[in-house]
Structure 1
Amino acid sequence: MKFLFEQVTVFSDKKLDGNPLAVVVGADSLTHHQMEQFAKWTNLSETVFLLQPKHPDADYFVKIFTAEGELPFAGHPTLGSCFVWQQIYGQQNKSTITQQCEAGLINIKQINGRLAFMAPPMIRTGELEENERIKILNALGLTDNDVEACQWLDNGPGWLGIQLKSVATLLSVKPDYAQLKGYDIGLCAIYPEGDDKQLEVRAFCCSIAEEDPVTGSLNAVFAQWLIPQGKLPKHYVAGQGQCVSRNGLVYVSSDEYGIWVGGDVVNCISGTVEFD
């Protein structure tokens, strides 16, 4: 069986920046096992499979896999799969797009020429227990003096969100992955006023001992966490990926409907993929 295959980069307008995504189009006949095996083979942070929608209000259905298994929702796969769906099915002019995924229905629209998804609601928040906090900060090479705030954040993927007091400290962190196995940790720090960016972000996927280049779901929960506190404006730009040579940019905006997370998407590879 042959399927259309696209590989795009998300959160950058340059082909070798941002976060790459593999997209298999029209994959309705593939089994869960085939999807899982292919995602392991691509060895990208995420691989997605575009399917026909099962909900009457959805334009398409997407299944999202890491090399470790399926995710109910993720940010850069949402923007990348929407971009491919638009290109393949000629839907570039559709004003609002509804994606179905395991987390439910996600609305997507164009904001200032970029695709943006509405951040799904946070399903879990909470404080970190003190013993666990000490362990994690030690493994990150941080102290309490470096930390502004710390909270569990969950919008499908679950994150331990840590706001640091300085961008310089954030960029210097070198995690001890052996001590952090089982955690997904997101760090952020606010830039001084007047900078082109307002926030810098890093994401550590500790179960696979890797830093994610640019992470839409994490940027979404940071916005949901920090905008209501007045720590960030309703419209801002976040950077992510400096420490892994990817200069991703995430464009966050708010309106009466919620928080939108946007970014550029660029096509890199087009072809077919064959499954047994």
Structure 2
Amino acid sequence: MKCELVDVFSTKKLNGNGLTIFSDVDHLSSADMLAWTQEMRQFESIFIQVKGGEFHARIFTIEEELDFAGHPLLGLAYHLHHHYGNGPRHEWRVHTKSKVIPLTSLKTAETFTATMSQGKPEFIRTLSEQEAQTLYAALNLTPPSEVSIGAEVISTGLPYVILPVASHQLEHIVFKVKDLAPLIAPLGAKFLYVLDVDNREGRTWDNQGAVEDIATGSAAGPAAAYLFKHGLISSHELTLHQGRFLGRPSEINVAIAEHDGEIANIFVSANVVKVADISLVD
């Protein structure tokens, strides 16, 4: 079995969000994949299988398998480009547990860029004032008076609570509960993303608050959809910032395709850089 280490949302090694890409994994069980993810100790790992000429990906956190995630699929585009491509630009279709994800890879002399089509966002729920207040309190926050818009659950494959805050509130987050899951699952969400709507910067964790994610591609689409819906961006392109609090500042580029005043598709892009090749002992 082999794996590659890449950094996603960065043009330099040892920056951005690290990812382990496992290949030659047909012999692995789901329990094996979870165990290898736990061994690598990253927020997520991805396992790639080729079946009948099609690419199938399974994505794991250290706790569970996910239906969909952003930075693992963007990092996977690097692997596909260098192992199956023969030109500067390629398009790929990757089967995940929830849907088929179109990816584009582009290699120039200076950079490698991966782009994911996340499709049309699903606006699942607008939280009541009390529901939002519970989540603010759980993170040691108070609802910002400067932000008049409410929290929402939005999905482009993985449903997030987008919890808006004003400038400098991200610094004050402290988990006051042992697990966010019982609070957000009834709202239809899997995770929570705190979004500074002024500076377009976000933070998210596993639901126990044990591990903060450096950069979250699956949350970037919902966050951009939220900003667009509420008229908080003047362009169809924007950059979201994340990872500053972990010493690995990352940039997530998002483009919105609009049709008749509604979002028709969201494209999330990342620079990817290779860190290492590793041969693992079975």
TM > 0.5: yes
Structure 1: 5+ residue runs without aligned partners?
192-197
Structure 2: 5+ residue runs without aligned partners?
185-190, 259-263
Match of 1:159, as an amino acid? Y
Check 1:86–1:113 CA distance in 2 against 1; reply closer, same or farther (3 A cut): closer
Match of 1:115, as an amino acid? A
Residue 113 of structure 1: how far off its partner (Å): 5.6
Name which of 256, 263, 266 aligns with 2:270: 263
Structure-2 residue corresponding to 1:99: 94
Aligned 8 A contact 2:162 2:192 in 1:
yes
Count of aligned pairs between the two proteins: 263
1:164-179 aligned at under 5 Å gives the runs: 164-166=165-167, 168-178=168-178
Structure-1 residue corresponding to 2:9: 11
Structure-1 residue corresponding to 2:160: 159
**CA offsets, 1:213-249, max 9 Å, x none?**
1000001111122224332220111110111111100
**Residue identity (%):** 24
Rounded Cα–Cα distance in structure 2 between residues aligned with 1:83 and 1:129 = 41
Aligned 8 A contact 2:6 2:19 in 1:
yes
Rounded Cα–Cα distance in structure 1 between residues aligned with 2:173 and 2:209 = 17
Structure-2 residue corresponding to 1:141: 140
Aligned 8 A contact 2:75 2:272 in 1:
yes
Aligned 8 A contact 1:53 1:100 in 2:
no
Check 1:129–1:190 CA distance in 2 against 1; reply closer, same or farther (3 A cut): closer
Rounded Cα–Cα distance in structure 2 between residues aligned with 1:84 and 1:151 = 35
**CA offsets, 1:131-170, max 9 Å, x none?**
432221112222223544201123333321112222x122
Structure-1 residue corresponding to 2:44: 46
Residue 180 of structure 1: how far off its partner (Å): 3.2
Aligned: 1:20 with 2:18: yes
Match of 2:255, as an amino acid? S
Residue 94 of structure 1: how far off its partner (Å): 4.2
Rounded Cα–Cα distance in structure 2 between residues aligned with 1:92 and 1:205 = 38
Q: What SS does the corresponding residue of 1:217 show, helix, strand or coil?
A: helix
Aligned 8 A contact 1:177 1:206 in 2:
no
Check 1:97–1:144 CA distance in 2 against 1; reply closer, same or farther (3 A cut): same
**TM-score, normalising length: structure 2:** 0.84
Decide which moves more: 200-209 or 169-178: 169-178
Rounded Cα–Cα distance in structure 1 between residues aligned with 2:221 and 2:142 = 26
1:190-205 aligned at under 5 Å gives the runs: 190-191=197-198, 199-205=200-206
Match of 2:242, as an amino acid? Q
Match of 2:22, as an amino acid? V
Match of 2:246, as an amino acid? V
Residue 181 of structure 1: how far off its partner (Å): 5.1
Residue 254 of structure 1: how far off its partner (Å): 2.5
Residue 177 of structure 1: how far off its partner (Å): 4.5
**TM-score, normalising length: structure 1:** 0.86
